[in-house]
Amino acid sequence: MQRNNPEEFVVSIDDAALEIERGINAAIAIYTAMMEGPFNPDEFMDGMYFVLARLEKCNKDLRQLVKDKKSQSSVCKAECGGHESCHDVQKI
Task: Report whether pLDDT(78) > 90.
Answer: no
**Domain ranges (residues) in the chain:** 6-91
Q: What is the pLDDT of residues 22-70, one digit of tens each?
A: 999 999 999 999 999 999 999 999 999 999 999 999 999 999 999 988 8
| Per-residue model confidence (pLDDT) at position 74 | 76
Residues 72 and 2 sit within 8 Å (Cβ to Cβ): yes
Q: How far apart are CA 15 and CA 7, in angstroms?
A: 12
The pTM of the full predicted model, rounded to 2 decimals, is 0.72
pLDDT, residue 28, reads 97
Predicted confidence at residue 70, as pLDDT, reads 87
